[in-house]
Amino acid sequence: MKKNVSILSIGDELLNGFTIDTNSSWLAKEISKYDFLDVKNNLTVKDNYEEIYSSLDYLLSKNNRFIFITGGLGPTHDDITKNALMNYFDSELICDLKYMKSLEKRYPIISRELIKNQSQILAVSNIIPNSKGTAIGMALKHDGTDLFILPGVPAEMKNMYHEHVSKKFIDPFFKKKIKYITILTAGIYETKLYEILRDLIYENKENFRVSFLPSYSGVRIRLMSNNNTPLDGFKNLIIKKIDDYIFGFNDDTLEQVISKDLISNGKKIAIAESCTGGYISKKITDIPNSSNYFIGSVVAYSNLVKEEILKVNKKTLVEKGAVSSEVALQMALGVMNKFKSNIGIATTGISGPSGGTKEKPVGLIYIAIASKNCQVVKKFNLIPDREKHRRIATQVCLNMLRLFLKK
Amino acid sequence: MKKNVSILSIGDELLNGFTIDTNSSWLAKEISKYDFLDVKNNLTVKDNYEEIYSSLDYLLSKNNRFIFITGGLGPTHDDITKNALMNYFDSELICDLKYMKSLEKRYPIISRELIKNQSQILAVSNIIPNSKGTAIGMALKHDGTDLFILPGVPAEMKNMYHEHVSKKFIDPFFKKKIKYITILTAGIYETKLYEILRDLIYENKENFRVSFLPSYSGVRIRLMSNNNTPLDGFKNLIIKKIDDYIFGFNDDTLEQVISKDLISNGKKIAIAESCTGGYISKKITDIPNSSNYFIGSVVAYSNLVKEEILKVNKKTLVEKGAVSSEVALQMALGVMNKFKSNIGIATTGISGPSGGTKEKPVGLIYIAIASKNCQVVKKFNLIPDREKHRRIATQVCLNMLRLFLKK
Q: Residue B233: which residues within 8 A CB-CB, separation 6 or more?
A: none
- Dmax (CA) for chain B in angstroms is 83
Task: For chain A, give the percent of residues with pLDDT over 90.
Answer: 77
What pLDDT is recorded for position B230? 86
A5 CB neighbours in chain B (<8 A) are none
Helix (H, G, I), strand (E, B) or coil at B194: helix
DSSP states along A179-246:
-EEEEEE-SS-HHHHHHHHHHHHHHTTTTEEEEEEEETTEEEEEEEESSS--SHHHHHHHHHHHGGGE
B20 CB neighbours in chain A (<8 A) are 20, 22, 25
What pLDDT is recorded for position A178? 65
What pLDDT, in 10s, does the model give residues B80-123? 999 999 999 999 999 999 999 999 998 887 788 889 999 999 99
- Report whether B237 contacts B202 (CB < 8 A): no
Pairs across A and B, CB distance < 8 A: 213
Separation of first and last alpha carbons in chain A: 50
What pLDDT is recorded for position B217? 80
Across chain A, mean pLDDT equals: 93
- Please identify among residues 203-242 of chain A the ones whose CB lies closer than 8 Å to any CB of chain B: 213, 222
Find, in chain B, the residue whose alpha carbon is nearest to that of A42: B44
What pLDDT, in 10s, does the model give residues A33-42? 888 899 999 9
What pLDDT, in 10s, does the model give residues A40-75? 999 999 999 999 999 999 999 999 999 999 999 987
Alpha-carbon distance B301 to nearest alpha carbon in chain A (angstroms):
5
B279 CB neighbours in chain A (<8 A) are 278, 282, 285
Hey, is the C-beta of B297 within 8 angstroms of any chain A C-beta?
yes
What pLDDT is recorded for position B225? 85
B278 CB neighbours in chain A (<8 A) are 273, 278-282, 284-285, 297, 299
pLDDT surpassing 90 at residue A270: yes
- Please identify among residues 61-80 of chain B the ones whose CB lies closer than 8 Å to any CB of chain A: 62
pLDDT surpassing 80 at residue B12: yes
- Report whether B21 contacts B44 (CB < 8 A): yes
Q: What is the pTM of this model?
A: 0.79
CB nearest B296 (choices: A14, A43, A300): A300
Between CA B146 and CA B65 the distance in angstroms is 6
Between CA B107 and CA B388 the distance in angstroms is 45
Interface ipTM: 0.79
Q: How far is CA A37 from CA A5, A65, A173, B47, in A?
A: 7, 8, 11, 16
pLDDT surpassing 80 at residue B148: yes
pLDDT surpassing 80 at residue A77: no
Q: Which residue has better confidence, A19 or B168?
A: B168
Residue B178: band (very low, low, confident or very high) from pLDDT cuts 50, 70, 90: low
Between CA A163 and CA A137 the distance in angstroms is 12
pLDDT surpassing 70 at residue A118: yes
Between CA B302 and CA B237 the distance in angstroms is 49
Find, in chain B, the residue whose alpha carbon is nearest to that of A298: B298
- Assign domain A254-406 to its CATH superfamily: CinA-like (3.90.950.20)
- Assign domain B3-170 to its CATH superfamily: MoaB/Mog-like domain (3.40.980.10)
Is B41's CB within 8 Å of A44's CB? yes
A10, A14, A16: best to mutate for the B interface, most B CBs within 10 A: A16
Give Rg (Cα) of chain A.
28
What pLDDT, in 10s, does the model give residues A338-389? 999 999 999 999 999 999 999 999 999 999 999 999 999 999 999 888 998 9
**Residue spans in chain A of domains classed CATH 3.30.70.2860:** 180-249
What pLDDT, in 10s, does the model give residues B69-83? 999 998 777 789 999
A278 CB neighbours in chain B (<8 A) are 273, 278-282, 284-285, 297, 299
Residue A2: band (very low, low, confident or very high) from pLDDT cuts 50, 70, 90: confident
CATH of B180-249, one of 3.40.50.2000, 3.90.70.10, 3.20.20.100, 3.30.70.2860: 3.30.70.2860
Residue A317: band (very low, low, confident or very high) from pLDDT cuts 50, 70, 90: very high
Residue B62: band (very low, low, confident or very high) from pLDDT cuts 50, 70, 90: very high
Q: Which residue has better confidence, B232 or B110?
A: B232
**Residue spans in chain A of domains classed CATH 3.40.980.10:** 3-170
- Report whether B156 contacts B135 (CB < 8 A): yes
Between CA B233 and CA B250 the distance in angstroms is 17
B25 CB neighbours in chain A (<8 A) are 14, 17, 19-21
Hey, is the C-beta of A272 within 8 angstroms of any chain B C-beta?
no
User: What SS3 string covers B222-251?
Assistant: EEEECCCCCCHHHHHHHHHHHHHHEEEECC
DSSP states along B338-391:
HHT-SEEEEEEE--SSS---SSS-TTEEEEEEE-SS-EEEEEEE--SSHHHHHH
A54 CB neighbours in chain B (<8 A) are 62
**Residue spans in chain B of domains classed CATH 3.90.950.20:** 254-406
Neighbour-count burial of B252, counting CB atoms closer than 10 A to its CB (0-12 exposed, 13-18 middle, 19+ buried): middle
Phi and psi for A279 in degrees, rounded to 5? -65, -45
A256, A282, A312, A340: best to mutate for the B interface, most B CBs within 10 A: A282
